[in-house]
Amino acid sequence: MPAPIDFYFDFSSPYGYLAATRIEDVAAKYGRWVNWQPILLGSVFKITGGQPLPSLPLKGDYAKRDMARCARLLGIPFAYPGKFPISGVAPSRAVTWLQSRDQQKAKELALALYRAFFVDDRDISNPDVTIEVATEQGHERAAVTAGINDQAVKDTLRKEVEASIAKGVFGSPYFVIDGEPFWGHDRIDQVEQWLAKGGW
Amino acid sequence: MPAPIDFYFDFSSPYGYLAATRIEDVAAKYGRWVNWQPILLGSVFKITGGQPLPSLPLKGDYAKRDMARCARLLGIPFAYPGKFPISGVAPSRAVTWLQSRDQQKAKELALALYRAFFVDDRDISNPDVTIEVATEQGHERAAVTAGINDQAVKDTLRKEVEASIAKGVFGSPYFVIDGEPFWGHDRIDQVEQWLAKGGW
């Protein structure tokens, strides 16, 4: 059985959203499982000195145009959120909580949270909104609320983010396949080449 | 006659080199002329706060791997230079000088300078090396030497770099086609889509 694809994403990352929408189809084509790992770019940027795209002179304006254009060319719904960037802590905790119970449902929740933010302009950094989205996915409100407030879940997410950075993850989306790293939704064509050939 | 493609590049940019190697073929396919405009990322970074890739934690190591991988997948010769990054002032002045005399030869010189740096590990930031490469391209040593030391050439380049930044150019390679900006050699597929459809 081939090794899984590690997929790292931040909930405030538009390119992470585009990749999240596409990666399962690509992986399924080559019989690979995908591990979805939420990361927090705020923690990453403390190490790398990086900054959120919108705050960067010139590049920020370009990125705003580019993300909408990429989504349009891929046929993926996208609307630039009213509040951006946001903290991905609440949605990441919800996904981390659910991953210990049901991996598949955790992926579906991650996609639903991404769509809530990047399609419906709902502020998922607000825990109440994240909980609302989870209930719409069929999860018990009380269970989700307890989950994202559970200290063990918080600790797990923190440790996973630290472990990701220790592995060299510095952006979103970021993929590792058979030890080979790929950064950016615009490397999905190379990801596909790698999967097709089993390396190169 | 369709509008030309503006192509901005820094001589220390590996992705600029990859794009320089590919853009003329893409443009020719759709009957477009390409304006080659050397820029100096050092001047850009003063405005944007950007930094050379190799100096960035995590991202620098990844970039080193990614640029070699992209070149390999494209079948373009590439060797990580011993000294990197470098200043692109000398080669940019040589190209600026030649552009006022022969646009086509200026493009050929730009490609020769890029190959000298990214294939043969020659330090083109040294004016003597830039002059040597130009003589290998059939240009008179005395003329090239006078050209890159000409105050008018220096002023032209400085003004063109300032004008590029004023237009929003913040990285290399950067393309503007019919007013639409594209950043990165990994946007050449979108450049090609744009050219094929004449917009979208």
Provide CB contacts within 8 A for B140, sequence distance 6+.
none
Q: Could you tell me the sign of the dihedral formed by the alpha carbons of B195, B48, A185, A123, in that order? A: negative
Chain B residues within an 8 Å CB radius of A190? 69-70, 73
Tens-place pLDDT, residues B32-83: 999 999 999 999 999 888 888 888 889 999 999 999 999 999 999 999 999 9
Q: Flag if A168 and B66 touch (Cβ within 8 Å).
A: no
Query: How far is the C-alpha of A177 from the C-alpha of A36, rounded, in Å?
Result: 13
CATH code for the domain in which residue A162 is found: 3.40.30.10
Q: Flag if A58 and B181 touch (Cβ within 8 Å).
A: no
Which A residues in the span 137-196 are in contact with B, Cβ-Cβ below 8 Å? 165, 168-171, 181, 183-184, 186-187, 189-190, 193
Instruction: Write out chain B's pLDDT in tens, 200 residues.
Output: 789 999 999 999 999 999 999 999 999 999 999 999 999 999 999 988 888 888 888 999 999 999 999 999 999 999 999 999 999 999 999 999 999 999 999 999 999 999 999 999 999 999 999 999 999 999 999 999 999 999 999 999 999 999 999 999 999 999 999 999 999 999 999 999 999 998 87
Residue ranges making up the domain that contains A137: 5-197
Rounded to two decimals, the ipTM of the complex is: 0.92
Chain B residues within an 8 Å CB radius of A192? none
Which A residues in the span 57-96 are in contact with B, Cβ-Cβ below 8 Å? 57-59, 61-62, 65-66, 69-70, 72-73
In chain B, how many domains are there?
1
Nearest Cα residue in chain B from A193: B73
* This prediction's pTM: 0.95
Of A61, A66, A181, the CB nearest to B62: A181
Distance of CA B14 to the CA centre of its chain: 9
Q: Residue A189 is encoded by which pair of tokens?
A: 């064509």
